[in-house]
Chains A and B, each alone.
Chain A
Amino acid sequence: MTAMIQRWLAPSRLLPVIFPAALLFLWWLATHNHPDGLIPPPDLIVRELADTAGLTGDHDEFSGSLWSNLLASASRVFGGFLLSAALALPLGLLIGQLQIVRRMLDSMFQVLRPIPVTAWQPLFLILFGLGSRSATMLVALGCFYPILLNTIFGVRSVEPRLFEAAAMLGISRAALFPKVVLPSASPGIFTGLRLGLGFAWVVIVVGEISGVRVGLGAMIENAREVSRTDVVIAGMIVIGLAGYLSDQAIRALSRRVLRWSPQHG
């Protein structure tokens, strides 16, 4: 028992906790005497989190709404992400591998890439209508460039030595792509997927702030309109946790697939 406590209190375990705990304490110190101030104290946020999760007996318009909002956002995030990956992966492999495709598309993407998703949003609302579809498409756009660019980079950075090794072992030209290029590019591809999924959770809030009724972005926006700062912050925390968990999932997957790589395995 004491051994277990000692392990839990080991400095290496505590290290990542110290700083956020201090910040939380300062936050509480500054706010706990003014529960109706501009920023509510942290214990109130925790209570509100529990309330939106349906764990308390309260009944306001946000009570118990967390799960449907989270589900709506997550389905848009993963829907947009998968759509984006389905387009950006093959396109990135083509651009990386074939010079003619690269010369055809590279400059176009260089010009399109700096346009932020917020600038695309009005056009998407016109194109896809006010609602869930626009948000999903916006997420897809947000994931697109990180996946595309890292895939291209992965394909283009195959060690020339490995082409020589494969050639002297008698590989056919057709087999070069699946046997050498693709596995070589896989760390780059995973970096792109990971960055893309991270962006997806950023973009979803932008996408949901107008035109949709369910979703974490919508929940935050609705709460802001009625000055429910506690719900706003609770929503932010849920987005942070959801983004963290999906990143952990993709990292676990890449550790499995890339266990041969000293940087990933």
Chain B
Amino acid sequence: MADLVAERPRVTPRAASAPADNPILKIEAVNKRFVTAGGEIDALRAVNLEIGRREFVCLIGASGCGKSTLLRMIAGFETSSDGEVLMNGNRVVGPGPDRGMVFQDYGLFPWLTVRRNIGFGPAARGVKRAEVDRIVARFIAMIGLDRFADAYPHQLSGGMKQRVAIARVLANDAVVILMDEPFGALDAMTRERLQSELLTIWEATGLTVLFVTHAIEEAILLADRVIVMSPGPGRITADIAIDLPRPRDVVSAEFNEKRAHVAGLLQGSH
């Protein structure tokens, strides 16, 4: 991690919560309907959202609220029924390296070593071999997996796999990183470590992070803004600024106040 901090200027955290003047992501009047055997389902209805550059935003809500659908739409894996998703003012029409996705189940290529998983994106986009090696070496050092550089994914723990999954989107010059319950499958101690590592990376790189979770504490620990979503139809019901200084103390009164606030909103939304 030290490597990265040294190479890139540290980002001054933006004033949290105020919608950015020049949003990197803009979701405009998006509807998403799925046709199922039982009829049409409103997965998302009238969703509007702006994400500012370098913001850390958590999407939280009960299952069926459309938070993952919204994330996958931004990634370009799903299309909207109405409305638009704009990235830097351009319409999103499909997946692309500017929006790196981190899946809960990692999605690493099992036949590639850690090194080559991280180098996959740059290599696929035609970056020269020597340059790929240089990029890979830097990100392997960043996630502290030097000793496992030539290991295959099945030889890694869940936490290591998720570090590799994060490193490969960073190595691919992602501007926005989309995370779909990335730490949901990890044990509590590994989760805490990865949360703090993610914050360090975010602060050091100036990335924009959109993070889906169903854990209130995780959302408040990480985010500048917590977007609360509700099911039936899937929609945004609250947009809460978390203006606590980092590192955040999960047992402080202010933290608990925010937690109770979000919990109340989630309860009321059913």
Binding site for B on A (CB under 8 A): 159, 161-162, 164-172, 175, 179-180, 183-184, 186, 259-262, 265
Contact = CB atoms under 8 A, between A and B. Distances in A.
B103 to A, nearest CB: 6
Contacts of B121: 169-170
B144 interface: no
Contact of B168 (A159, A169, A172): A169
Contacts of A259: 152
A167 B94 contact: yes
Interface of B: 75-77, 94-97, 99-101, 103, 105, 107-113, 120-121, 124-125, 152-154, 168-169, 172
Contacts of A260: 110-113, 152-154
Contact of A172 (B110, B124, B152): B124
A159 B103 CA distance: 13
Contact of A175 (B76, B124, B152): B124
- Residue with the highest number of chain A CB atoms closer than 10 Å, among B97, B107, B152, B154: B107
A172 B125 CA distance: 8
A169 B110 contact: no
Contact of B97 (A164, A169, A262): A169
A168 B124 contact: no
Given A161-B105, A162-B107, A168 B96 contact: yes
Nearest to A171: B124
Most buried by B among A165, A179, A260, A265: A165
B76 A168 contact: yes
A164 B101 contact: yes
A164 B120 CA distance: 13
B242 to A, nearest CB: 28
Nearest to B121: A169
B107 A167 contact: no
Contacts of A186: 111
Contact of B154 (A159, A170, A175, A262): A262
Contacts of A171: 120, 124
Contact of A165 (B94, B99, B101, B152): B101
19 contacts: A161-B105, A161-B107, A164-B77, A164-B101, A165-B101, A165-B107, A166-B109, A166-B120, A168-B77, A168-B96, A169-B97, A169-B121, A169-B124, A170-B124, A171-B124, A180-B109, A259-B152, A260-B152, A260-B154
B104 to A, nearest CB: 10
A34 B103 CA distance: 71
A64 to B, nearest CB: 48
A183 B108 CA distance: 13
B109 A165 contact: yes
B101 A168 contact: yes
A225 B55 CA distance: 86
B265 to A, nearest CB: 31
Nearest to A176: B124
Contacts of B152: 259-260, 265
Contacts of B95: 164, 167-168
A165 B108 CA distance: 8
A168 B154 contact: no
A168 B75 contact: yes
B99 A179 contact: no
A251 to B, nearest CB: 18
A119 B252 CA distance: 81
A170 B172 contact: yes
Contacts of B75: 164, 168
A175 B108 CA distance: 17
Contact of B124 (A164, A166, A265): A166
A261 B153 CA distance: 9
A189 to B, nearest CB: 13
Contacts of A165: 101, 103, 107-109
Contacts of B100: 168-169
B101 A179 contact: no
A260 B153 CA distance: 8
A162 B110 CA distance: 10
Among B75, B94, B101, B124, the one with the most A-chain Cβ atoms within 10 Å of its Cβ is B124
A147 to B, nearest CB: 20
B118 to A, nearest CB: 10
Contacts of A172: 124
Contacts of B77: 164, 167-168
Given A162-B107, A169-B172, 14 more contacts: A165-B109, A167-B94, A168-B75, A168-B96, A168-B99, A169-B97, A170-B172, A172-B124, A179-B124, A260-B112, A260-B113, A260-B152, A260-B153, A265-B152
Contacts of A166: 109, 120, 124
A48 B172 CA distance: 67
Nearest to A258: B111
A178 to B, nearest CB: 11
Contacts of A162: 107, 109
A157 B105 CA distance: 17
